[in-house]
A and B are shown apart, each in its own frame.
Chain A
Amino acid sequence: AQSVTQLDSQVPVFEEAPVELRCNYSSSVSVYLFWYVQYPNQGLQLLLKYLSGSTLVESINGFEAEFNKSQTSFHLRKPSVHISDTAEYFCAVSSSGGYNKLIFGAGTRLAVHP
């Protein structure tokens, strides 16, 4: 069975500071990895994904994540956050075969303060 652990339920940070949201997974098969973001009163939006190839993946708004197979991690980082990054972030895993069933972590609430 697969599982995802997001190690921090809340991360407060000041504007323009760097941030790391941690995600560890367990799986006995090859995986796809995702980060989704949820702004207040909205559904989830895909932030970035790892399907294959380069282990470092980037989003268009400055976030990046690195797939580390040996540590079974997929941490999300941003070197300088903005107020508008305040949201809940979910890490998710699916097996590389099958029906794309996603297993989600419990979420990390990022609060950016001025």
Chain B
Amino acid sequence: DVKVTQSSRYLVKRTGEKVFLECVQDMDHENMFWYRQDPGLGLRLIYFSYDVKMKEKGDIPEGYSVSREKKERFSLILESASTNQTSMYLCASSNPGQPQHFGDGTRLSIL
């Protein structure tokens, strides 16, 4: 089975902090994705990557950046956390033409 592992299930940070969310997949997938999930809005794509060191903006990239130095790892970075970034963050991976597999999510609270 595909395993997508997010480093933290729950995280509490303060406004202005730099926050790192880590995601690792074990199936050699080419594509990796970061979403945020908010009630009534579904999942919205923040960034995705289709290869090592390659990245593309999703629908809501403002306030975020990403890093993909190795194929299996995709990091989401909140440069200066703000309260409106309190959310559930979900990582996913896939190969082209195949369904995405999701991690269990990180519930991030910014105080």
**A interface residues with partner B (beta carbon < 8 Å):** 4, 6, 9, 34, 36, 41-46, 49, 51, 90, 92, 96, 99-107
Contact = CB atoms under 8 A, between A and B. Distances in A.
A55 B14 CA distance: 49
B21 interface: no
B98 A100 contact: yes
A107 to B, nearest CB: 5
B99 A46 contact: yes
Interface of B: 4, 31, 33, 35, 40-45, 48, 50, 56, 58, 90, 92, 94, 96-105
Chain B interface mostly helix, strand, loop or mixed? Answer: strand
Most buried by A among B4, B33, B96, B100: B100
Nearest to B30: A99
B102 A44 contact: yes
A105 B42 contact: yes
Nearest to B103: A43
B31 A99 contact: yes
Nearest to B4: A43
A13 to B, nearest CB: 21
A90 B42 contact: yes
A107 B45 contact: no
